[in-house]
Amino acid sequence: MKTFFRALILAAFLVAIASGVKAQDLLASQAPYDTHMEFVDSMELRNMLFNESYLYPSEDLYPEWDNNSRVHYSGKLPDSLRIDLREFVMPTKNVKVTDIFGYRSRRRRVHNGLDIKVQKGDTIYAPFSGKVRTIAYQRRGYGHYIVLRHNNGLETVYAHLSKKLVKENQVVKAGDPIALGGNSGRSTGAHLHFETLICGKPINPALIFDFKNQGVTGEYYVYRKNKHQSVDPKTGKVVDSDLQQYHKVRSGDTLSKIATKYGVSLSQIYKLNKMNARSVIRPGQQVRYR
Ligand SMILES: [Zn+2]
């Protein structure tokens, strides 16, 4: 008889488990009724949030998910943002930076990214997990290009590609091949034009990626809206300094030399110092360039 009851109890447990009711509910029927439900809810919520982070990465930072071809747009920038770089994979194994970020007097325009020498057909990798926002072609500009939105809040742009290996809205993991490098669009010689954006605003990719040493500048990059940021050449770490910066004029300096030295436009220097093309500068004078 004892064995029969044991078997009966066991059968009841098995039926209960099979029907989705936890065995502990039968044993602890005095426990608050909704304990089990809360457990289910939080699991479901967690799964839902996890799935949503893939459906719509960085939802808190970006008001919408759209596949339009705009690369840069004026999103609302946070005052500061900590970007997790720990899962990084270098977008290319190539190490040679052929053009830096900032104002190029040679081209008379701002260069919104870094150029890295690649061979046509070299694989380009997603540096962080996220989702493909835009895939497009711009004959006189970027050529074949891709914009990724990452879960860490960053967006990255890859231009002059020869082949795209992903589709819009595709979820990517850090290290997934996304494209092959090339020479499409306005480009002389195969290279990767690489941009890093926060809410549509380009920031210097060198604040995050060190292509020469194939690494990142830290476990986190902290963007600060009201600071000028640069990388210390000795430590390779990001340094925040005051936004307003001055150059002390030495003999032989001209305003255009100062502009070139700091990678800013001459018109910016005129504006900041209330100067014009006829203005004369003297050694020892402080000229604001940022
Ligand atoms: Zn470029």
CATH number at residue 281: 3.10.350.10
What pLDDT score was predicted for residue 156? 98
Q: Exposed (0-12), middle (13-18) or buried (19+): which is 132, by Cβ within 10 Å?
A: buried
CA angle 223, 229, 231 (to 5 degrees): 110
CA of 165 from ligand 1 middle (Å) equals 21
CA of 72 from ligand 1 middle (Å) equals 14
Same domain, 155 and 273: no
Give kind and range of the element (H or E) at residue 130.
Answer: strand 130-138
CA of 148 from ligand 1 middle (Å) equals 17
CA 195/CA 132 separation, integer angstroms: 15
CA of 226 from ligand 1 middle (Å) equals 26
pLDDT score of 186 more than 80: yes
**In this prediction, what percent of the chain has a pLDDT beyond 70?**
80
213 and 236 Cβ atoms separated by less than 8 Å: yes
pLDDT score of 53 more than 60: no
CA 36/CA 14 separation, integer angstroms: 18
Helix (H, G, I), strand (E, B) or coil at 135: strand
Same domain, 124 and 165: yes
Same domain, 50 and 87: no
Same domain, 8 and 116: no
What number is the average pLDDT over the span 11-33?
47
Residues around ion ligand 1, judged by CB within 5 A, are 115, 193
| Gyration radius of the chain over CA positions | 27
Same domain, 42 and 138: no
Same domain, 144 and 17: no
What number is the average pLDDT over the span 183-189?
94
Same domain, 93 and 173: yes
72 and 200 Cβ atoms separated by less than 8 Å: yes
Lowest mean pLDDT among 17-26, 164-173, 190-199, 222-231: 17-26
Structural domain total, the chain:
3
**In this prediction, what percent of the chain has a pLDDT beyond 90?**
63
In a domain, 169, yes or no: yes
CA of 208 from ligand 1 middle (Å) equals 17
Of the two residues 123 and 262, the one the predictor is more confident about is: 123
CB atoms within 10 A of CB 5: 9
Nearest to 208 by CA among 193, 224, 196, 194: 196
Q: How confident is the model at residue 67 (pLDDT cuts 50, 70, 90)?
A: confident
Backbone angles phi, psi at 6, to 5 degrees: -60, -45
pLDDT score of 22 more than 60: no
Q: How confident is the model at residue 17 (pLDDT cuts 50, 70, 90)?
A: very low
In a domain, 133, yes or no: yes
CA of 275 from ligand 1 middle (Å) equals 31
What number is the average pLDDT over the span 106-133?
93
219 and 84 Cβ atoms separated by less than 8 Å: yes
In a domain, 129, yes or no: yes
144 and 185 Cβ atoms separated by less than 8 Å: yes
CA 153/CA 263 separation, integer angstroms: 27
Same domain, 114 and 231: yes
In a domain, 70, yes or no: no
CA of 74 from ligand 1 middle (Å) equals 20
CA 34/CA 18 separation, integer angstroms: 20
Q: What is the DSSP letter of 101?
A: S
99 and 111 Cβ atoms separated by less than 8 Å: yes
**pTM (2 d.p.):** 0.73
Same domain, 94 and 190: yes
Domain boundary among 40, 55, 70: 55
Which residue range is the domain that position 43 belongs to? 2-55
Same domain, 120 and 184: yes
Q: How confident is the model at residue 124 (pLDDT cuts 50, 70, 90)?
A: very high
Same domain, 192 and 142: yes
Same domain, 139 and 165: yes
CA 80/CA 74 separation, integer angstroms: 16
CB-based contacts of 149: which residues, under 8 Å, 6+ apart?
A: 57, 58, 62, 65, 130, 131, 133, 155
